[in-house]
Amino acid sequence: MSGVMQRTLALLERLAADVDGLPLSTLADELDIPRSAAHRLLAELAELGYVRQSRERGDYRLTTKLVSLGLTHLKLSGVTDLCQPIISRLATASGELARMGVVDVDHLTWVITAQGATSGLRYDPDAGIDARLSCTSSGLAWLLTLTDDEALELVTREGWPRPGEFGLNAPTGPSAFLKLLRAARKQGYAITHETYRAGISSLGVPVTARGKGTVGVVVISGPSVRLSDQRLRELVPLTTQAAEELAQACVVSPWFDRAWRPREPG
C-alpha cells in the first residue's frame, strides 16, 4: 500500500472497525504502512478533526466527524424522510427488527432501521456497517436479482467466510453459496437461519425500482426461537409490500442511482 489517499482511507476504515482505538504500531503493521508514514497521516487526520489520540494509552480513535458527514448526507438526500416511515411500519407490524440496505456499487450498506420488538429477546446489530453478501438474507436478496456469475464475482471480491467465522450454516465456498442463491431466486426472496450469526434468522426481499434496477433490500431479522421458517414465510407478503412501497419512493430520488454493473471484459 503506497498511495497517500489509499493509506489514509485504509487507516480510517480500520479505525472504524475498532471503537476502542488502536496503537500506531498495530495500524502500521496490519496495513503494511511504514510507521513514520502512518504517524504523519494520523497526525494530519487529528489536525483535521477526523481522529484523536487517547490520553491513557495513546491509541488512535475516530471522532464523530465522519459520522456527522454521513448523517448530514443522508438527511440532505431525503432518503430518511422517504423510507423511514415505511420501515417503521414494517417493524411495528412484524414485531421484529426491520432494516433497509442500499446498493452502493458493489456492497450493501444499512441506512434505515426500526426495532419492532418491545419485550423479550431483541436483535440489535451495529448500524451503518456493510452487509455481508454471502451469508445474509440481505446479500442473497440483492444477489438473486443478478446472474450466478455476477453474484459470484461480488462474493469472491468480498472474500469467502472462514469456517466458524459466522453462523453454523454460513456457506464457505461457491457450491454451498449457489445452492442458497438459487433457492432464493426461485422464490423471489431469501430466508436464512443461523448463516450470519448463531440464533438469528432473517428474511430479505429486493427493492427494485422502475428504471433503476435493484436499489436495495428490505429485511426482517430476529431470534430464531421466534422467527421459525413458517413465521418468516408468513411475513413475506408484509415485507414484499414494504419493498414495493420503498421502490416507489426510490424512483423519485436520484440518490438511488448506485446500481452495480459487471466489469467490462479485459
- Compare 2 and 22 and report the one with higher pLDDT: 22
Q: Which residue has the higher pLDDT, 144 or 69?
A: 144
Please report where in the chains the cell 456469475 appears, as a residue. 149
| Domains of the chain and any CATH numbers | 4-63 (1.10.10.10), 72-256 (3.30.450.40)
pLDDT at 259: 53
In this prediction, residue 211 carries a pLDDT of: 76
What band does 266 get if pLDDT is binned at 50, 70 and 90? very low
- The larger pLDDT score, comparing residue 2 to residue 81, is at 81
Residue with cell 475498532: 18
Q: What is the mean pLDDT of residues 217-244?
A: 96
Task: Specify the pLDDT at position 255.
Answer: 58
What span, in angstroms and rounded, lies between the C-alpha atoms of 165 and 243? 30
Terminal Cα-to-Cα distance of the chain (whole angstroms):
24
**Mean pLDDT score, 82-89:** 90
The vertex-26 CA angle with 25 and 31, nearest 5°, equals 105
pLDDT of residue 85: 92
- To the question of pTM greater than 0.75 for the whole model, the response is no
- Strand-pair category, 60-62 with 107-115: unpaired
For residues 202-216, give the mean pLDDT: 89
Spatial separation of the C-alpha atoms in residues 204 and 96, rounded to whole Å: 13
Q: What is the rounded average pLDDT of the residues 71-90? A: 78
pLDDT tens digits, residue range 9-68?
899 888 887 878 899 999 999 999 999 999 999 999 999 998 998 866 789 988 888 877
Helices (H), 62-173: 65-77, 79-94, 137-143, 148-158
Quick check: 246 pLDDT over 70?
yes
User: 95 — phi, psi (to 5°)?
Assistant: 75, 20
Q: Give per-residue pLDDT as tens, 125-182.
A: 655 567 889 999 999 999 999 999 999 999 998 888 888 889 899 998 999 999 999 9
C-alpha grid cell, residue 168: 453454523
Q: Is the pLDDT of residue 256 over 90?
A: no
> Quick one: pLDDT at residue 265?
41
Task: Quote the pLDDT of residue 155.
Answer: 93
State yes or no: pLDDT of 233 exceeds 80: yes
